[in-house]
Amino acid sequence: MKHKNTTKINKVQQTATKEKKPLLLPVLPILFVITYLWAAWYFGDVLRMARERSFWVASTEQMEFLLSQEFGGLWYVGRLLMTLFRYPWIGALLPATMITWCTWCIGYGLRLTARWRWIQYLPAGLYFAWLAYEGVNNFFENESGKILGIPFCATVILTTWAIMIASFSRKKSPAILGIPKDETAWQNRLQVLMLVLVFGTHVAIDKIWRPYTRVIASMNVSMLNSDWQGMMETARENADLSYRPIAANYAIALVNTNQICERLYDIRLDYDAMYIHNRSNEGIVVELSLYQEDCDYYAGFIQTCIHHAMERITMIGPNVHSMELLTKCALMTGEWEVAKKYLRILKDVPFEKEFVEKYSAYVGKPESVNADKEMAFIRQLEPIHDSFENNYQQPVFLGYNAALTEGRSRNALMNSLAVNMYSKSMPAFMMRTQPLEGTIPPENVADALCLMSAKDPDILRRFPNLQFRHQKLANTLTEMKPYMKDRPAFARELFPKYKGYYTYYYFFGNLKATRKKPSNEGSSTAGVN
């Protein structure tokens, strides 16, 4: 009887022991999965743009500009690997594999016991923190080959080290895919905590100090796909972020959807300064070349786009994006041999076959160029006079001459109207409203006309449909009156309430004193610009 009871007690104890067995997680496989998701989704657009702003061909002769530099061979390999980010969900396999393998090699090479195994995750943390810190420099004026060249170099060195150790050691190596048998629950959880810190630090730097990086990259990727709706949604979802490249990309999307006079003021336009590595902002918009060639192209400034794209290639080397723009510009100007030159170069760039085949069919065929939807739209915006570039004025991000008085289409004139509204150049704005007399103007234009009618009542005669908007204007001015004495101080506070309303922008938007400076910047130079 006693024996039976003892047996039952033992069975109960064994069952309890099994139930209390702590849950252990395979940390290295988790690192692989998270890194893959980070590279394919969270940071995927940034890495995609790093690829687009880079250049790689197999010919060492064509890559001499890179190979002749210090560590040029390593950056050559890094750029080759970056070409896979033409498709981030494929390219993401590279950093996920290399980072996971390097992490294991560090633990194995240092002979880390389970107690100290959390240390092996520190290099990965430094890598992710560095990429977050670089921000837009990951795809702007930085060597793109470093992004994957550094982990590739680490992979080669650490693999060699691990092989050498394995050749002279009989000690069993810790598991890569499974859970090492020597780990306790506490030791396992400490490694999981390190993973949280590794990616948490990256996200913190990205969200707090570089909040614009992924937004700009996402809008640029949408631009590559002509996804204008996606660009606008991204800008509006981040309407409180005020940076020139975001405004530039947003304006491009609005131009392509004929909404520039209607929706421009849905985002803040005060322009906090961006951190650009090794550059300071002393009277110069340092990020200008990040978006200037795109603004020129979609504004119809073909010759200006060629100028800035060539300038960019000359200053920082060839890149896929600029060459594609130059190809399109050459086709629109009928420079067939020039277009063929760029197409021959792009033919050797991995994953550019579709682009080359499409535009090669346009060479020598002006009717095909004119029939292309994108190019046909841009041709409508092309300046009539060749002297246009000589009179090129701000704002650059809209890409339109504030002095434009005639254009090839109504869209061109509406864009000029939008520039003067943005610049708060009201006399020039009023001159461009004549074609709208007798019509119902876009909402923002109507609000600007209401503002001007206080000085010129004759505007109400020319635009009788404005009468019903006067009460809204009067109420708004009454509400804003307490804040007028210190407009820069209240600009951000009032934005959520008056977002999209031109009257708010006229009095509170794009003010020099509202602009914030990064740590590397000297004096502030913002304004209506």
Segment 432-467, tens digit of pLDDT: 888 888 888 999 999 999 999 988 888 888 888 887
pLDDT digits (tens, 9 = 90+) for 188-243: 999 999 999 999 999 999 999 999 999 999 999 999 999 999 999 999 999 999 99
Poorest-confidence range of 103-112, 128-137, 484-493, 515-524? Answer: 515-524
Poorest-confidence range of 9-13, 44-48, 256-260, 415-419? Answer: 9-13
Poorest-confidence range of 36-45, 308-317, 458-467? Answer: 458-467
Cα–Cα distance, 12 to 370 (Å, whole number): 83
Position 366 pLDDT exceeds 70: yes
Mean pLDDT over residues 501-513, rounded?
89
User: Which tokens go with 266?
Assistant: 């849905």
Mean pLDDT over residues 466-492, rounded?
91
Position 497 pLDDT exceeds 90: yes
pLDDT over 90, % of the chain: 68
Residue 355 makes CB contacts below 8 A (sequence gap 6+) with 324, 327, 346
Cα–Cα distance, 31 to 118 (Å, whole number): 12
Report the pLDDT value the prediction gives residue 448, as an integer from 0 to 100.
95
Q: Omega before 488 cis (within 30°)?
A: no
pLDDT over 70, % of the chain: 87
Report the pLDDT value the prediction gives residue 524, as an integer from 0 to 100.
34
Query: What DSSP designation does 178 have?
Result: S
Position 63 pLDDT exceeds 50: yes
Report the pLDDT value the prediction gives residue 274, as an integer from 0 to 100.
87
Report the pLDDT value the prediction gives residue 525, as an integer from 0 to 100.
34
Report the pLDDT value the prediction gives residue 243, as an integer from 0 to 100.
92
DSSP string, 59-115: -TTTTHHHHTSTTHHHHHHHHHHHGGGGSHHHHTHHHHHHHHHHHHHHHHHTT--GG
Residue written as tokens 């086709």?
331
Sign of the Cα torsion 304, 405, 373, 334 reads: negative
Report the pLDDT value the prediction gives residue 178, as an integer from 0 to 100.
83
pLDDT digits (tens, 9 = 90+) for 255-307: 999 999 999 999 999 888 888 886 655 445 678 889 999 999 998 889 889 99
Position 391 pLDDT exceeds 60: no
- Predicted TM-score (pTM) of the model is 0.91
Mean pLDDT over residues 6-19, rounded?
53
- Average pLDDT, rounded, for the chain: 88
Position 187 pLDDT exceeds 60: yes
Report the pLDDT value the prediction gives residue 287, as an integer from 0 to 100.
85
